[in-house]
Amino acid sequence: MVKKFLVAVLFAIALPLSAQKLPPPRLHLPQPAQGSTSQAQTGGAANLLPAGSLPSLKLQAAIEPLKIYQAEFFNYLIELKWEKGKDICELEFKLPEVPKAEGVKAVGSEFESENLVKGESEQVRRIYGFRYFPEKKGKSAIAQADFEYRCRGTEPYAKISVPSFPLEILPPRFHLADLKGSRAFQASLALVLAAAIFSTAFLIWRQRRKKSALKPVMIEQTAENQALEMLKSADQFRIAGRYPDYFLALERVLKTFLEQKYAIRWSGRDRLVQDIAKAAAAELAENIDRLLILSDRVKFAGVEPSTPELDQAYRAVRGIIEFKKLEITGGVK
């Protein structure tokens, strides 16, 4: 079914473009003639009326693709059409011989038939496809193709022919695949690939080296500056006497800074204090612990902090930021 469809599609595409190249077909009436008349066709197609109950056959031929190159397969498609009716007999065809062509090798043939019903009329369509492989460039021609047919079970056969089909075989096109076999090509391809891999690796390495040289200083400075800025802006809450907000802001400074700097996640006071002790110093961790306890009292117990407590909280946060600053200086050395 798929094959049939493909052949039909190919034919539909190829025919309108190449049909004008087709010479007019010749009619060979069966012997004895059954009163059929030939009808001249224009535009490369033919209408034939065999005698008696034989139907009138329409014939069209085309090649696909339109341009034929040496060493590239092409198809020669011939379509036969006729109307079915009460007075028309059932046709049977002799298997046609594959038409030959000089410098072109015939490699296969197939045909498909289909019935097209449109309202009350019914049409039969038979497509023959011949496949060729051009071995030489230059002018050539596909020999006349003969189709013999008759009413099923009767004698003799009528004949309809497609005259010789001229071809222009162009020189072969360049294909990368052709080079695959050549050693020179393989060697140069390997060389190009190796060079590409090497240069990509070199570029990545250089970029990473640049990044790793810059990253620590940039990130450390950013985290520190950001924390100090946040700390500065938190002071507005202290001045306004909004202590729960002030401690919330201090916690945010700490949270942001610790996450950026040490990748410490805020997961409970005890854990946080342990992490700070590990990453920085035990003394700083103790200060932070005191700060967090005070923060909870201020936020959740409505306790108003004393001035020394506020100073202590501020120093605890500032201390951990500045501690890191010293460490960075040491790291740069």
Binding site for other proteins (CB under 8 A): 268-269, 296-297, 299-303
- For residue 289, the number of C-alpha atoms closer than 13 Å in the C-beta half-sphere is 13
DSSP H/E element including 258: helix 243-262
Q: At closest approach, how far in Å is the CB of 262 from other proteins?
A: 19
Closest to other proteins by CB, 270 or 283 = 270
Neighbouring-strand partners of residue 57: 48, 82
Closest to other proteins by CB, 32 or 268 = 268
Closest to other proteins by CB, 174 or 300 = 300
Burial of 133 (0-12, 13-18, 19+ CB in 10 A): middle
Q: At closest approach, how far in Å is the CB of 221 from other proteins?
A: 29
- Is residue 40 within 8 Å of 91, Cβ to Cβ? no
- Alpha-carbon span 281 to 275, nearest angstrom: 10
Q: At closest approach, how far in Å is the CB of 285 from other proteins?
A: 17
Closest to other proteins by CB, 18 or 295 = 295
Query: What type of residue sits at position 300?
Result: F
The token pair at 328 is: 């960075």
Closest to other proteins by CB, 123 or 274 = 274
Strand 68-69 to 74-84 pairing: unpaired
Q: At closest approach, how far in Å is the CB of 298 from other proteins?
A: 11
